[in-house]
């Protein structure tokens, strides 16, 4: 594990040098993926790294966990509360759709969740430009393969240091890095709506996705779910399609 950490930390340092920027930042949610990245960027750029906490109708536990992650790794932070910003933007869009008879309640619920992720992305780039830092993403191999992220939201980043690690490997790295236990052991959640957990929404488990990525046998039903997510999300892992010249 130590070797893996050293490898990623020096890769991050190289990216900073090559991009000719001053440092790195990450959104810190109180979840395990951003906790690991927070530790890695602090190691890569001890004097020029930043965590950004961005509550948006978030659970109070998440904020408590974000604070304990930041304290444990000594990463400085700022907090930008997006609750009001989201409220203004979302209710304006909703009103316009409603008054013109174009509102689809179910679709808009999903769009609402993705809007929060995209407001966070805009916030991170605003702070990154101010500091001359790069935005570091937190997607792991399981999320990347299944496309379980918001296009141009939490997927809109400059670097993806965890993209080759399964969720299990992220957990092992979190333990090695001293991430607080309550963060390591809670259910992964995008916090996109009340009571949401990743595994409920996906209909399969990270353990199955990890096993599938490692080439091991998993139940046929889970294999089908994972492959369907992978196919459906191909566009998120590519540049936007363009017509031939």
Ligand X SMILES: Nc1ncnc2c1ncn2[C@@H]1O[C@H](COP(=O)(O)OP(=O)(O)OP(=O)(O)O)[C@@H](O)[C@H]1O
Ligand Y SMILES: Nc1ncnc2c1ncn2[C@@H]1O[C@H](COP(=O)(O)OP(=O)(O)OC[C@H]2O[C@@H]([n+]3cccc(C(=O)O)c3)[C@H](O)[C@@H]2O)[C@@H](O)[C@H]1O
- Choose, by CB under 6 A, the member of 41, 53, 173, 174 that binds ligand X: 53
Whether the CB-CB separation of 127 and 52 falls below 8 Å is answered with: yes
Choose the stretch contacting ligand X; rule: CB under 6 A; options: 89-97, 104-112, 185-193, 225-233. Answer: 185-193
What does the alpha-carbon distance between residue 79 and residue 121 come to, in Å, rounded to a whole number? Answer: 14
- The answer to whether the annotation marks 132 as part of a ligand binding site is no
Region for residue 165 given its phi and psi (left: phi exceeds 0; alpha: psi -120 to 50; beta: otherwise): beta
What does the alpha-carbon distance between residue 24 and residue 136 come to, in Å, rounded to a whole number? Answer: 7
| Residue 28 interacting entry, from ligand Y, Mg ion, ligand X, none, C-beta within 5 to 8 Å by type | ligand X
Distances 106 to 102, 131, 143, 189, 220 between C-alpha atoms, Å: 12, 39, 23, 20, 29
| Residue 157 interacting entry, from ligand X, Mg ion, ligand Y, none, C-beta within 5 to 8 Å by type | none
Mask 165-204, x = binds Mg ion (CB under 5 A)?
------------------------x---------------
Interaction between residue 189 and ligand X (CB under 6 A)? yes
Rounded least distance, CB 226 to ligand X, Å? 17
Binding-site members are: 27-34, 118, 138, 143, 151, 158, 167, 189, 235-236
Please report, as ranges, the residues that interact with ligand X according to CB under 6 A.
26-29, 31-34, 52-55, 58, 62, 120, 138, 154, 188-191, 198
Binding-site members for Mg(2+) are: 33, 143
């Amino acid at each position: 594990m130590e070797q893996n950490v050293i490898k990623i930390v020096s890769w991050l340092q190289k990216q900073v040098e090559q991009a000719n920027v001053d440092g790195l930042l990450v959104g810190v949610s109180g979840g395990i993926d951003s906790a690991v990245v927070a530790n890695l960027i602090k190691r890569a750029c001890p004097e020029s790294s930043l965590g950004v906490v961005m509550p948006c109708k978030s659970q109070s536990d998440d904020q408590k966990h974000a604070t304990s992650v930041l304290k444990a790794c000594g990463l400085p932070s700022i907090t930008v509360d997006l609750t009001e910003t989201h409220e203004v933007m979302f209710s304006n869009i909703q009103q316009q759709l409603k008054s013109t008879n174009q509102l689809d309640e179910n679709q808009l619920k999903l769009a609402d969740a993705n809007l929060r992720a995209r407001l966070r992305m805009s916030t991170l780039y605003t702070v990154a430009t101010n500091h001359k830092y790069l935005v570091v993403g937190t997607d792991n191999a399981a999320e990347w393969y299944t496309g379980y992220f918001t296009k141009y939201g939490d997927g809109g980043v400059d670097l993806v240091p965890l993209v080759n690690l399964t969720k299990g490997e992220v957990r092992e790295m979190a333990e090695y890095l001293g991430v607080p236990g309550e963060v390591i052991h809670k259910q992964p959640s995008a916090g996109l709506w009340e009571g949401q957990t990743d595994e409920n929404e996906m209909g399969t488990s990270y353990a199955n996705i990890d096993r599938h990525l490692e080439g091991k046998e998993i139940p046929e039903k889970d294999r089908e779910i994972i492959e369907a997510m992978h196919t459906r999300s191909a566009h998120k892992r590519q540049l936007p399609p363009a017509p031939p010249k």
